Structures are given as C-alpha cells and as structure tokens.
Chains A and B, each alone.
Chain A
Amino acid sequence: MIIHATRRAHLAGTALAVILAGVPALAQDSFLDVGEQEPITILINSSPWYGGFESVVALYEEQTGNLVELDATPYNGVLEKARNAVRTAESPYDILNIDSGWTIEFYESDVLRPLGEIVEGYTLPEEVYTCGDSYFWNEEKQYRTSEGGTLMAVPPNCNVHVLVYRTDLVETPPATYDDLLAQCQAIQSPPEVYGFATRGERGNGIHYDFMPFLLSYGGRIVADPASGDYTVTINSPEALTALERFIEVEHGCAPANVGAMGQGDVIQLMAAGNAAMVETVVAAWANYVDPTKSAVVDTVAAAPMPEGPGGRGVAIGNWHFAVPRNIPDERAQAAMAFMQWFLTEGAQTAYAEAGGIPVRRDVIETLGQQPGYEWMAAYQTNLEAGVHPLGFSEGAAVEQVMGLRLNQALVGELSPAAALNSAAREIQEIFAQSGRQTGSLDPLPE
C-alpha cells in the first residue's frame, strides 16, 4: 500500500515536473550539451512570445549552468540599442534580436559575424524553417537568398499571417478572396459585428497586411530580384485588381476608421468579440486565447490565408538572432552555443509550450496534433507558402513608399491606379539611385 502510494506520488511528481519544464523526461537527448560558456547578454523586444523565450532561457541556465541576461526593450528601442551597440568599441550585447526589415543595414555596414565564422561550417538544422530564405545574405546580389548567400542569423520566430475567425460565425473559413468578400459582407452588421478587418494604418501596417492580397493575385513589387531584374511591377493589372479587392473588403467589412487601424485595433476588434474574421500575424495569437484579454477564447480558430488566382500569398516578417562583430571570440562562442541549443527539438518544444512560436517542422507537427495547439496547422501551411517580399537592400525605402500610397488609396486621397502609378515611379527612382537594373510598366489608366 505504502509503496504503491509512494510510487503514485512519484509518478505525479514526474508528471508535474514534465509540465513545469515543458519537456518530456525521455527527451533529454533532444537537447544539446554546450559545456561551460561565458555569460551572455541578449537584446530582445517585449512581445507576446517574450514570456516563452524567458522560460526557455531559464531552462537553459538550469540545464547548462551558463548565465544569460535579457534586456527586454520596447520595439523601436531595440533598433536604437542595436545600432549603438555595433557602433561602439565593444558591444554590450552578445546576441541582437533584430526585425528582418532592419537587418540589411547591419549587413551593409558589415558589423555582424556570419555564423559560419564562429562555428566553422555551421548550417541551420534541416528541420528549422528558413522563413523565406531570410537568414541568408548574398552580398554580391544585395539580396536575401541561400544561393551563394551567407548564413547571418537564426530564427527566434517566423512571423506569418494567419486568418483568425470565429467558429460560431464562420462555418468554413474562406478559401478564396471572393469567398472572403461574400462571407464577410453576409456577416457584416455594425457596430456589433464586423465581417473582416486588417490593418489600414499608414506605413508598415498597411503594406504588410496588403501583401497576402497582392501575392495571391499574382502581383509583385519587383519582377525578379533573385536574378537581378528590378523592373518595378507594382502598377500591373494584377496588382490593381488586388488593391481594388483589398479596398472593397476593407470598406465593405471593416469599421469606418480602417484607414487608421493598427495592430492593436485589429486585435481588439477580434478579442472583444466584434469581428468575425481578421488577418493578423501568428505572434498575436496569444491575445485571443487569454481569458483576461479575450471574449472569444472558446470560439476562435486559425485558418490558412485564402488563395487567389496566383495561389496562396503570405508575407513573412520575422526576427533574427544575430551576433555582433565587436565582441571577443569567447563571447561569440557562448552566443552561438545558446542559439544552437535553442534550435534543438527539446528547447523548441519547451519554447512553444511556454507561449513561443516554434520554428522547427517536427515540433510544429507533433504539437499541432495536441489539443490547444490546433492553430499550428494553419501556421505551418502559411509558413510553407511564405515569401519575404522585401529581400533587397532597398526594402525599407520601398516599404515607406508603399505604406503611404496604399493608405492614400484606402482613405480616398488617391484612386487605386494613381496610387500604384506613383508608388511605381518612386520605387523605380529608388532602384535607379542604388544602381539596380530597373525599368517600369506602362502606367495604369487613371
């Protein structure tokens, strides 16, 4: 009896430990033994997945005895601090977590260490997604690609869009954008419930959230950057159809203030129970399933993005763990040790269970089968269709142009055709200035 009881207690204890650590006890070998390493400091942004990252760091410290300090910083502050760090004699940080849009500036000034220089011949594990090849940099082509590119960073997450919907209002999530429009208009009954919304705010918001429309209608900003053809194609008839559909959906189904709606507004609309469908990044998922923040915990679900004539379009906007050049070798080694450990199956599982967004195929597939992680299937479908639309060094400047012109089209300051024509003119100018082989289409009739 006594023995029995003890064993049960022991089993329960193990089960508890498993839940707490988030690691199957048998999977110890799915981690990596990194040995003793220098303490490191990581510059990272505050985000919904920060909690998950913090737990996985605690697990690393516990397993290896190596110290990791985290400097959690507001979003824009990360860029300022990262720039300061690489512009000084010795960087206070060993790992910089930077947004993909910012990375090229760091590549161009050559202040990050290629990972293969720290650990001879290092490559990403096969199971790890490369998030649209965005962790490589081909200096000659000034373009993100694994072909002839150098591995510069590892993924802390691959942020892609998912279609978030309410199972009580939407029976089957729309498979196409025609379907999306029809469904959202049918549901639309403001101000109680809006059919669909995504960001219309000027800048990165509208640019990034318009991308799924553009890509799935077969539109592209640039003809073929991978092979060096920077002919601007943003004023193609496909792009116009995509923009007109985008505006139609936003005007027909979103709140009247859609031209000023940012990430917080869209999340709020869904979480408060006032939207049937929204398009947000997977990193926002945690907001919908937290009962203190969401009224739709039991009815929310995620679906792959709809398809258009050009297939499924998904844009990736991800974060990068990179190592600055201006730190001593031992610290770079320690940084690398942590990153390699972080990408193991065990660590990624622990990360996901604590609220992180995993980047390993096997972890996503295994966890996706479990209750509570159903959204991972949609995440994976979208991730595999994902492309990095701004893989070139002029990305930030192009995004600014797009962010303004698209917003003007949405709020009615410009017609869709005029907005795309002016965007095309300005983007061509940007490429011409940086010496790309560029050109343009005939302007759309305005």
Chain B
Amino acid sequence: MIPLKGRELWLGYAFLAAGVLAIVVPFLFILATSLKYEIAIMQGRVIFEPTLYNYNDVLFGRRSNFVRNITNSLIVAGASTLIVLTVGTLAAYSLSRLRWARWISGAFLGWTMLFNTIPVLTVVGPWYLMFQQAGLYDTLLGLVLTHVAINLPMTVWLMMTFFGDIPAELEEAARVDGAGQAQAFRRVILPLVVPGLIAAGVLAFVFSWNEFTVALNLTSRGTATVPVGIANFAEQYEVQNGNMAAASVLSTIPALILMIFGQRFVVQGLTMGAVK
C-alpha cells in the first residue's frame, strides 16, 4: 500500500467516491425497482409509493420457491467454496513451493487453464449422464462437485500468485527451527496469504452463487438454486421486473452476510494459528 498524502489524498477520495457511486447507483436502481408495482416500473416513474408487494410475492407466492432456493444456494456455494479453497490452496502451495518436476506442474496448470476456457454449455451434457448413473442427479452434492471443478482452476492460479509473493527465507527459517514442511505451511505461510484466501474465497463463492447452466440441468424444483429461481421471473409473454428485482436484492443479503462473517472467521482462524 502507498499511503496518499495532501492533494493526492483528496484526488484519491474523489476517485473513490465516483467509483462507489458508479457501483452503487445501479444497485439502488434495482432496490427501487423492487419496491414498485410493475406498472410503476414500466412507466419509469421516478416518484412512487413504495410497496412490499414484490417481496411478498417472491417469498410467499405460490409460484415461487425462493426460500428453498436461497437455502440450496447457501449450502452449495458455502460447501463448494470451502472445498475448493482447501483443495485449491493445498495444490497451489504444492505446485509453487514443493519439488515437483516441471512437466507435472506444467501439465496440471495447463489442463486447468484449458478446462477453464471450455464453454460450460458443452460439458453439461456429459455431467448430466455421469451424475444420473452415479445417483447424484438432482442432489446438492452433485452440484457442489461440479462447482468445485469449475472454480478449481481460478483458485489454484490465484493462490499461486499469492504464495509466490512470500519470500522463501521465511519458510527456510521455520524449517531451521525444526518444523516439518506441513508445520511450516500451517504456521508460517498460511497466515501470510490471508488477503489472498479472502479474495479467492469471495470469488469462488460468487461464481458458485451465480452459476446457472449446470444448476439448471442438474436440479429440479426441490434442489434449484437462486439463479434458476430468478430466471423463472424472466419469462416469455410476461413482465415480472419487480419480482426479479426483489429476488435479486433478497439473494444478495444472505450472501453478503455470509461473506462478511466468513472473512472474519478466516482471518481469526489463521492469525490465531500464527501466534501459537
């Protein structure tokens, strides 16, 4: 970090204010939309009488299964993030710090990158058949596994850059003190990459939370996630912008809360390990 001073600081604040405004205004627009009757949305009324009609419809309407969708999404995104962070961070550490032959790390990273470029549309068919045979079709576990696979490449690559920033001497010092590789990793290295873990975790969570194509194909009414539920409001022959906006707002709240607490949890857990 570069502390800004004087005129630069004011410039910084101005730029930040503009950035925050640009981010927040469209979101406020969504929020306002969620509080309008459909007719007020369609007429583009700026001044309107707020109503909770849409929220009521989304949460308790007969067509909607939104509470269930949110629960499913929390489980799927939470579980797949935990798994992909664990698996991905270990793999990233292994590849960046332990003695693997070049061809092994090259093949691993090349394959993950290749898989990441494939349009999901073309792999969802094989996954459907695999999961049907394994009895995992229409289960949350099946969806968790696919999200782990989808997010693994990014997690590994990201974590490698963060491990790469840590000076090798630190680790060697720990080893001189008699720590094994595993202990050195746990006590010395891991606490240093907390900002990276948070970034990678947030991104994995967000991608899982918003993933649509696979979730649509591998679930049905009882196991559907938030994006699938929301897509039901974007229908042919009708306009349900109010419901969709309300569902979007509702879907960000639990995710936001979970991520804020999740961050704190990660930070505390790892820094405590470091002090010990």
A residues at B contact (CB < 8 Å): 45-48, 50-51, 54, 69-75, 77, 80-81, 84, 87-89, 92, 263-264, 267-268, 271-273, 280-281, 283-284, 286-287, 290-295
Contacts and interface: CB of A to CB of B under 8 A. Distances in A.
- Interface of A, secondary structure class, is mixed
A279 B43 CA distance: 20
Nearest to B129: A88
B238 to A, nearest CB: 5
A377 B125 CA distance: 45
Interface of B: 37-39, 42-43, 53, 62-63, 124-125, 128-129, 132, 137-138, 216-217, 220-221, 228, 231-239
Contact of A268 (B42, B128, B217): B42
Contacts of A73: 216, 228, 232
B238 A69 contact: no
Instruction: List the 10 shortest-distance A-B pairs measured between CB atoms, nearest first.
Output: A74-B231, A293-B38, A272-B42, A46-B232, A284-B237, A283-B237, A48-B238, A268-B42, A272-B43, A71-B220
Contacts of B232: 46, 72-74
A263 B221 contact: no
15 contacts: A74-B228, A75-B235, A75-B236, A77-B216, A80-B124, A80-B217, A88-B132, A92-B137, A263-B236, A267-B238, A283-B237, A284-B238, A293-B37, A293-B42, A294-B39
B238 A88 contact: no
A80 B216 contact: yes
A133 B155 CA distance: 55
Given A74-B234, A294-B39, A268 B125 contact: no
A280 B216 CA distance: 29
Contacts of B234: 74
Contacts of A273: 43
Contacts of A72: 63, 221, 232
A47 B235 contact: yes
Contact of B239 (A46, A87, A271): A271
A313 B141 CA distance: 52
A78 B223 CA distance: 16
Nearest to B227: A74
A292 B232 CA distance: 19
B236 A267 contact: no
Contact of B62 (A54, A69, A92, A267): A54
Nearest to A285: B237
A70 B217 CA distance: 16
B63 A292 contact: no
A135 to B, nearest CB: 20
Given A264-B239, A267-B238, A287-B238, A74 B43 contact: no
Contact of B237 (A47, A80, A271, A294): A47
A148 to B, nearest CB: 33
Given A72-B232, A284-B237, A271 B42 contact: yes
Nearest to A88: B132
A92 B129 CA distance: 13
A387 B251 CA distance: 44
A341 to B, nearest CB: 21
Given A46-B235, A92-B220, A54 B39 contact: no
B235 A74 contact: yes
Contacts of A92: 137-138, 220
B53 A286 contact: no
A74 B237 CA distance: 12
Contacts of A293: 37-39, 42, 239
A283 B234 CA distance: 15
Given A50-B63, A51-B63, A271-B42, A70 B221 contact: yes
A225 B173 CA distance: 83
B58 to A, nearest CB: 13
A166 B272 CA distance: 70
A84 B221 contact: no
Contacts of A77: 216-217, 228, 231
A286 B238 contact: yes
A161 B42 CA distance: 22
B39 A46 contact: no
Contacts of B236: 45, 47, 75, 263, 283
A290 B39 CA distance: 10
Contacts of B53: 292
B43 A89 contact: no
B42 A74 contact: no
A145 to B, nearest CB: 27
Contacts of B220: 71, 92
A10 B125 CA distance: 57
A103 B238 CA distance: 23
A72 B235 CA distance: 11
Given A69-B221, A272-B39, 16 more contacts: A46-B233, A47-B235, A47-B236, A54-B62, A54-B63, A74-B216, A77-B216, A267-B239, A271-B39, A272-B43, A281-B237, A290-B38, A292-B39, A294-B39, A295-B39, A295-B43
Contacts of A271: 38-39, 42, 239
A297 to B, nearest CB: 10
Contacts of B124: 80
B216 A292 contact: no
A273 B43 CA distance: 8
Nearest to A204: B236
A72 B53 CA distance: 22
A446 to B, nearest CB: 35
A75 B231 CA distance: 9
Contacts of A292: 37-39, 53
A289 B220 CA distance: 31
Contacts of A46: 63, 232-233, 235
A68 to B, nearest CB: 12
A75 to B, nearest CB: 5
Contacts of B37: 292-293
A415 B43 CA distance: 34
Contacts of B237: 47-48, 263, 267, 280-281, 283-284, 287
B232 to A, nearest CB: 4
